[in-house]
Amino acid sequence: MREKLREAKRKRIKKWLYGVGIALIIVMSFYLKMFLPLWCKKASLFSVKSIIVEPQNQSSFIKTYISIPESTSILSLNLEEVYKKIRQIYFIEDCFIEKHLPDTLFIKLKIRSPWVVVADSKNMVAMDRQGIFLPVEENFKTWNIVGMFPGKIGNQTVELEKLNILKEIEQWYNYYDIVQVFPVETIFIQDINKIELKGLKGWLYIRGDEIRKQLETAKQVIETCKKNNFLFEYIDVRFEQPYVKEAVVDKSDK
């Protein structure tokens, strides 16, 4: 009988200890949830001490632009806000941001690359493949585009149809390796029904649809002219039957 009473007492004590343990765990969890983040925010261990930016030549500008106070905890830093702020910079196409605990912020930038130069009689700007206008870099050689409005640096062109046509021209120009037979310097795109590609020797006329077919035909015609030593003023491949106009050769210089 006494043994049964002692056993029952031990079970009551175990239950009590088990209940106390559960209560302590709950209290500790609540404490950690409420106060640990506050402690971490204040702890200098987690203050942002280093910001690594790639490419490095943009490091000073980016650090100044996002302006994160030294006492800022990396744990409380809102990366979405930092991302949105950086993406407001016109020459940044995209960026990747990551926290490296305990105190380092890593930022990798994707810089916009100039693609073509857009010019009129007054202004000249570069433009990337998304249609964002950029400053013209020194010694930057590419296609000159005439017939699009050269907008303000950082703005996007509103002439999206012409932008897409230029992308398609580039795609098939490269695909058929036309640069080997007809290097293009300037593209006149005022009228998408008569787009003029100015080469080193002559002109090529195309329209803004079925560009693949036209450039495939153009390469065949140019190669035939080259094989036969035939100098042309222009080649028009806008229609089913290509037209080739012979160049006028000045015979006075002999």
With contact defined as beta carbons under 8 Å apart, do 232 and 245 qualify? yes
Q: Which of 64, 81, 111 is the last residue of a domain?
A: 111
For the entire predicted model, the pTM comes to: 0.76
Give the C-alpha separation, 171 to 163, whole Å: 13
Q: Are residues 155 and 68 in the same domain?
A: no
Structure tokens at 22: 């559960």
Q: Which of 111, 131, 148 is the last residue of a domain?
A: 111
Task: Look at residue 254 in the predicted model and tell me its pLDDT.
Answer: 46
- Helix/strand/coil (H, E, C) string of 24-42? HHHHHHHHHHHHHHHHHHH
Q: Which of 93, 111, 129 is the last residue of a domain?
A: 111
62-66 long-range contacts (CB < 8 A, ≥24 apart) are 62/86, 62/107, 62/109, 65/89
Q: Are residues 170 and 202 in the same domain?
A: yes
The range of the structural domain enclosing residue 218 comes to: 116-246
Question: Taking the CB of residue 178, how many other CB atoms lie within 10 A of it?
Answer: 22
- Beta 124-127 vs 133-134: how paired, if at all? antiparallel
CATH of the domain at 214: 3.40.50
Q: How far is CA 193 from CA 126, 165, 203, 208, in A?
A: 24, 11, 15, 6
For residue 21, is it within any domain?
Answer: no
* pLDDT tens track, the chain, 254 positions: 566 656 666 666 666 666 667 777 776 666 556 655 555 555 577 888 899 999 999 999 999 999 988 788 888 899 999 999 999 999 999 999 999 988 899 999 999 999 999 999 889 999 999 999 999 988 888 999 999 999 999 999 999 999 999 999 999 999 999 999 999 999 999 999 999 999 988 999 999 999 999 999 999 999 999 999 999 999 999 999 999 999 887 655 54
Q: How far is CA 178 from CA 100, 128, 170, 220, 225, in A?
A: 48, 22, 10, 10, 14
For residue 77, is it within any domain?
Answer: yes
Number of domains in the chain: 2
- Beta 104-111 vs 50-54: how paired, if at all? parallel
With contact defined as beta carbons under 8 Å apart, do 131 and 160 qualify? yes
Structure tokens at 230: 């035939």
Q: Are residues 142 and 189 in the same domain?
A: yes
End-to-end CA distance of the chain: 135
Give the C-alpha separation, 204 to 221, whole Å: 11
